[in-house]
Amino acid sequence: MTTLDLIAISVGNTRIHIGFFRGDELDRSWDIDLEDRMQAVEVVTQAWKSCEGSERRAVALASVNEQLAMELRSVIEDQLGEEVYELGSDLPVPIGVALDPEATPGVDRLLCAAASWDLLKQACVVVDAGTAVTIDFVDGEGVFHGGVIAPGLQMQLDALQAGTDALPELRFEKPTGEPYGRNTASAMQRGVFHGVRGLAWRMVEEFARSYEAFPLVVATGGNAEDLFADDELVNRLVPDLELRGIAVAARLALAEAAENEE
């Protein structure tokens, strides 16, 4: 099978994540602020040039922001003179679903589920702790059942400040030391931190009760390290899980397309 070198782009609510895969392995990744779009284009351009001698190369993009995805895709295609494949429209996400007929889950959730299934090949819970927190269940047949969506750590802090007269504006910082918040800011930091950790524990228990078996737990997202690095609940901490999902999806779809061309 021809090796595929892939540039995977994930456009989130606040950040753009880019990964350069040489075959199955993530060679390098970048984390770029959403406002620095031209930096993202430059990173993709340089990564594309670095794999000019590859047997086959491609760029694939996934986004939860459709308008921004269209703009970024257009600029990159103009820069490279190559098609940029979009997950969910040009390329399918290789994961089964058991959802309501009208449900439209975010492609980021499906890609994280697909990457977790590809990694584990068994029932798992996927915790993605970013701007929002999603906790989703994938069964032992590789079928995505959905889960829960909650505000992320910073979103909760912002809501506390916006919805009250007395609470301060804060940037999230991981609380350390004793469990007591002995001032307002410390109490707020501990409230959102332990709230998300507690939610994860509770939902894993609920999923396990429904499934009648205890699944493995995979955590990803910008706040995953702070939340779960020392938490016995989580079996795998995979920072680039969505990028790996893009790579899995692109590799399968483009390999099938190449076979059909022969």
Query: For 8-37, what is the mean pLDDT?
Result: 93
Q: Of the ranges 16-20, 74-78, 149-153, 250-254, which one carries the lowest mean pLDDT score?
A: 250-254
| Active site residue ranges | 108
Residue 259, domain member (yes or no): no
Residue 260, domain member (yes or no): no
Are residue 59 and residue 107 in the same domain, yes or no?
no
Eight-class DSSP state of 130: S
The predicted model scores a pTM of: 0.94
Residue 171, domain member (yes or no): yes
Residue 31, token pair as written in the block: 């984390």
Tens digits of residue pLDDT in 98-152 = 999 999 999 999 999 999 999 999 999 999 999 999 999 999 999 999 999 999 9
**Banded pLDDT at 55 (limits 50, 70, 90):** confident
Task: State which amino acid sits at residue 114.
Answer: A
Residue 258, domain member (yes or no): no
Give the per-residue pLDDT at 1.
53
Task: State which amino acid sits at residue 28.
Answer: R
Give the long-range contacts of residues 67-71, CB within 8 A, separation 24 or more: 68/11, 68/34, 68/37, 69/11, 71/37
Give the per-residue pLDDT at 258.
64
d(CA 113, CA 240): 13
Are residue 233 and residue 180 in the same domain, yes or no?
yes
Task: Give the total number of structural domains in the chain.
Answer: 2
Contact 227, 175 (CB under 8 A): no
Of the three residues 57, 86, 115, the one that is the final residue of a domain is 86
Are residue 118 and residue 55 in the same domain, yes or no?
no
Of the three residues 53, 86, 119, the one that is the final residue of a domain is 86
Are residue 63 and residue 138 in the same domain, yes or no?
no
Are residue 144 and residue 203 in the same domain, yes or no?
yes
d(CA 188, CA 184): 6
The pLDDT of residue 2 is above 70: no
Are residue 108 and residue 196 in the same domain, yes or no?
yes
Residue 262, domain member (yes or no): no
Give the per-residue pLDDT at 23.
85
CA distances from 167 to 15, 42, 44, 162 (A): 27, 41, 42, 8
Are residue 187 and residue 68 in the same domain, yes or no?
no
* pLDDT higher at 27 or 262: 27
User: Residue 234: is it exposed, middle or buried by C-beta count within 10 angstroms (0-12/13-18/19+)?
Assistant: buried
Q: Of the ranges 2-6, 72-76, 90-94, 244-248, which one carries the lowest mean pLDDT score?
A: 2-6
Give the per-residue pLDDT at 261.
61
Domain that holds residue 52: 4-86
Residue 10, domain member (yes or no): yes
For the residues of 133-196, what is the DSSP string, one character each? EEEEEE-TTSEEEEEEEEE-HHHHHHHHHHT-SSPPP-------SSS---SHHHHHHHHHHHHH
d(CA 75, CA 120): 36
Give the per-residue pLDDT at 54.
82
How many of the other CB atoms lie within 10 Å of CB of 149? 14
Tens digits of residue pLDDT in 189-247 = 999 999 999 999 999 999 999 999 999 999 999 999 999 999 999 999 999 999 999 99
Are residue 145 and residue 234 in the same domain, yes or no?
yes
Residue 145, token pair as written in the block: 């059942």
Tens digits of residue pLDDT in 152-179 = 999 999 999 999 999 999 999 999 999 9
The CATH number covering residue 60 comes to 3.30.420.40
